[in-house]
Structure 1
Amino acid sequence: MTTATPAGGSTATRPSRGPLTDRLTGGGRGTRIVWLVLGLLFVFSVTRAISGEEALTSSSTMRAALLLAVPIGLAALGGLYAERAGVVNIGLEGMLILGTWGAGWAGWQWGWVGAIIGGTVLGAIGGLLHAIATVTFGVDHVISGVAINILAAGVVRFLSELVYTEGTGGGPTQSPSVGGDPPSFSVPVLSSGPDLLGDLENSGWFLLSDLAGVLRGLTSGLGVVTLLAILLIPISYVVLWRTAFGLRLRSCGENPAAADSLGVPVYRMKYIAVIISGALAGLGGVFLVFVAGIYREGQTGGRGFIGLAALIFGNWRPGGLAAGAGLFGFSDALQLRSRTAVVALLLLVALLLVGVAVYQAVRRRWVPAVLAVVVAALALAGFLTVDELPDGIVFFTPHLTTLLVLSLASQRLRMPKADGLVYRRGEH
């Protein structure tokens, strides 16, 4: 039996590595992602069964994780557009702040629809200021972003003192209540009505109950901004990687001089990208206002910076940043739900690191494999000896997760080549 050989003389057929290995690794990236998700769910199920912490995969924890992940994910998605066009957006936190104030004021005036418009528009104005400073005047991107963060906090305080006078129900640090509640949605039959997923979650079956808890948490009580945020992930992928507009935008972040020579309006594309970035961050601020029902000073809580970390963790890709936002949201939700469940994370980390060690050993990378085993042993020892973590460590869990994830992911990151560089036509 012969194998057809291409014109270049080399065979295009990859040698078989066994039926099981071919089944697990074949099918491209989509198949590998499916197996990765199923593997993670299995590890979570094992951890839940050993530790007895039902909060690890309960629908209430997953629903809280989704709520906490949405503003982080929207800020990260905003950063994606700006940085793919070559503009570093440290000002995401300030644009979130502007979005919260715009949503609070417009929601007080015109209800939840007005809140969405007001927050998005005010966030876009913050993006416009960043674009004027960095694209037109060539200000260092980091300096401009930090300035916007400082400016936004001062502007919203000034506007609150100016607008929310005595008798309005608001004040210098908060707005009156938003008029009307935004609609919410649950998937029929599965998460509402018969609630099949709820029944399966309560059955206590290994793996199936955990899967039902995760799905029920992600398909019940979804608000309008939550649905929009979920849809924006695949939409952004299609726009940036499957359209001519996205190709032009990404070319501005990789090689703006070459893009300019091919007729791409580099300055205009950068402006559009950074304004979209601000609008998406502003939409994240709208979500925070919807959760609280009003605007409050300091409402963002640094989520813009965590969104930037999620963007970097996700390697400047929509799916990756969504995973990063979900990770940070889950760690935050877990520490709010149960202090003892946070201890169970040590067992989860130990199991995951054992898998990492096996993977590195198969690839004959002995140093990372040994390091993973050592850290896994320390995590397991912590799980077996610690009953409850101190309040300070529990509260710091999301931020600690951010630091650990970024340090572990730093070796495989590839930012756009021209990200953060000031472009001037004719100088490159």
Structure 2
Amino acid sequence: MSSADLATKRPRPGSRPRLSYPVILLLIAGGLVLFSLTRIVTGSHQLTDSGQFSSALGAAVPIGLAGLGGLWAERAGVINIGLEGMMMLGTFAAGWIGWQHGPWAAALAGIAGGVLGGLIHALATVTFGVDHIVSGVAINILALGLVRYLAKLWFGAEGSEAAEAGGNDKQSPPMDDMPTFTVPGLSGGLHSIEKHHWFLVSDLAGLLRGLCHEVSWLTLLTVALFAGSFFVLWRSSFGLRLRSCGESPTAAESLGVNVYRYKYAALAVSGGLAGLGGAFLTIGVHIYQEGQTGGRGYIGLATMIFGNWRPGGVAMGAGLFGFMDALRVRAGGETVHALLLLVAVALVGLAVWKLRGGLRAARRVARLQAAVALIIAVLLIIWYVTTDTVALEFVEMTPYITTLLVLSLAAQRLRPPKAVGRSYRRGEGT
């Protein structure tokens, strides 16, 4: 199933107003208040401490880069299911180069590995007209087999330099640390406020400290890439031509746009971004490890859909999934148990919004979604009241359950590029 198929209903132009930036900021503020109330009621201070937000930021970066890579590809009309494989190529290339030449060289190598995967996908889909889903799945399988083979050949060979440096057939030798950035004079003050556990104030301090204390330079680069992608795709003639290839390639060709060239460029950028996301994972733990991506390429694809094929939406989705992934890694069952109450309250608010703000043409669907949200909220509250913790197995599933829940609730407002996933041959519009 393509990502376009997930958008089962495309809203008519003008039928639903876009969220303005003040409304988005108001929603973020409301979410922070809800988190603060949940922390006070449940006593789970780990939910909003700076360590949680710092870990969430680190977890959001590779997911966001994969989602941004998917956005570039699909805006040009090509579905990129192969993001996971391109991330694998990025992790391996970063591990191979990083232990020899350092983390910055590892980042460049990861980008190169991802670009290679993107160009293979472009060759298959654009030049030879292979089905986009088939090509993406093939790249994922090919990348998995390739990195396993090369790791055994280069890292695990008996007597090799890599093996003597600590490598084996499942991981690379360690590399040096990537430098981090801390806002001087701000981190310490925020930490002292955070420790008082004041309502909202300490939570806001924890959030800000997580965003300015020991932040990787690759995280700052990722922020710049998101901003740059918006300006390139929506504020430049290059971006206009590229997006026209995803909306109507025959019309773009009639205006003199070289559709093949733009699709190749988009997939090269897409693969490079996914590869950088993979390199971030490797650099963060100083080594390449087999299975390091852990499905983040697929979650990145989900953030692109949730974000409605817009960089800002992808960033918000990556933040959400990164937060849940950080909970999975560093929090125990008690913290996730506290989150049950927060999700229940959020679902009640969503149900009220659906009932009061649903489209007239989709009133029945809005009522159905509201009813489902209320039922789930009641079940979560019962679960919270009758238990004291959450099983570890459920904690591990949290990011993936979040993915399914968010996509199911967002499906009605999605608007994918019109020609995404369609095969295109030069001259077919003449």
By the TM > 0.5 criterion, same fold? yes
> Separation in 2 of the partners of 1:27 and 1:333?
30
1:181-240 C-alpha deviation (Å, 9 max, x unpaired): 21100112211xxx1111111122101111111111121111121111122112111111
Contact 1:288/1:300 (CA < 8 Å) preserved in 2? yes
Change (3 A) 1:367 1:116: closer
Q: Give the one of 133, 142, 145 matched to 1:142.
A: 133
Shift of residue 55, structure 1, vs aligned partner: 1.3
SS of equivalent to 1:420: coil
Aligned to 1:7: none
Q: Displacement of 1:253 after TM fit?
A: 0.4
User: Hey, what does 1:408 align to over in structure 2?
Assistant: 409
Q: Which amino acid aligns with 1:388?
A: T
Matches within 5 A, 1:161-176: 161-164=152-155, 165=157, 166-168=159-161, 169=165, 170-176=167-173
Residues 242-391 of structure 1 correspond to what in structure 2 (within 5 A)?
A: 242-336=235-329, 337-363=331-357, 365=363, 366-391=367-392
* Aligned twin of 2:202: 209
Change in Cα spacing, 1:356 to 1:28, as seen in structure 2 (3 Å) is: closer
Q: 1:368 to 1:143 in 2, by over 3 A?
A: closer
In the alignment, is the contact (CA less than 8 A) between 2:369 and 2:409 conserved in 1?
A: no
Letter in 1 for 2:25: V
Q: Which residue of 1 aligns with 2:8?
A: none
Q: Which runs of 5+ in 2 are unaligned?
A: 1-16
SS at match of 1:396: helix
* 1:332-352 superposed Cα distances (whole Å, 9 cap, x missing partner): 212332211111111111211
Distance in 2, matches of 1:374 and 1:99, equals: 42
CA distance in 1, matches of 2:375, 2:124: 48
Q: What do the CA deviations read for 1:144-188 (whole angstroms, capped 9, x no partner)?
A: 11111111111122222332332423222211122x321100112
The structural deviation recorded for 1:90 is 0.5
Cα deviation for residue 28 of structure 1 reads 7.4
Give the Cα separation in 1 of the matches to 2:417 and 2:97. 36
Rounded to whole Å, the distance in 2 between the matches of 1:264 and 1:122 is 28
Aligned-pair Cα RMSD in Å: 1.7
Please state if 1:112 is matched with 2:103.
Answer: yes
**By how many angstroms is 1:41 displaced?**
0.8
Using structure 1 for the length normalisation, give the TM-score: 0.90
Residue equivalent to 2:213: 220
Q: Distance in 1 between matches of 2:422 and 2:26?
A: 39
Distance 1:406 1:371 in 2: 14
Match of 1:123 among 97, 114, 121: 114
Q: Distance in 2 between matches of 1:246 and 1:396?
A: 37
Matched pairs, number: 399
1:24-173 superposed matches below 5 A: 29-164=20-155, 165=157, 166-168=159-161, 169=165, 170-173=167-170
Partners of 1:184 and 1:224 within 8 A in 2: yes
Amino acid at match of 1:189: G
3-state SS in 1 of match to 2:347: helix
TM-score between the two structures when normalised by the length of structure 2: 0.89
Q: What is the 5 A alignment of 1:171-186?
A: 171-178=168-175, 180-186=176-182
Does structure 2 conserve the Cα–Cα contact (< 8 Å) formed by 1:95 and 1:149? yes
Q: Which amino acid aligns with 1:403?
A: L
Alignment gaps of 5+ in structure 1:
1-25
Letter in 2 for 1:319: G
Identical-residue share of aligned pairs (%):
56
AA paired with 2:251?
A
| Higher Rg of the two aligned structures | 1
Code of the aligned partner of 1:349: V
Residues 1:188 and 2:184 aligned together: yes
Matching residue of 1:11: none
Deviations 1:311-355 (A, max 9, x none): 111111111111111111111212332211111111111211222
Deviation at 1:378, TM superposition (A): 2.0
Kept in 2: contact 1:55–1:334 (CA 8 A): no
Deviates more, 1:169-178 or 1:43-52: 169-178
Identify the residue that residue 20 of structure 1 maps to in structure 2. Answer: none
1:376 is aligned with what amino acid? A
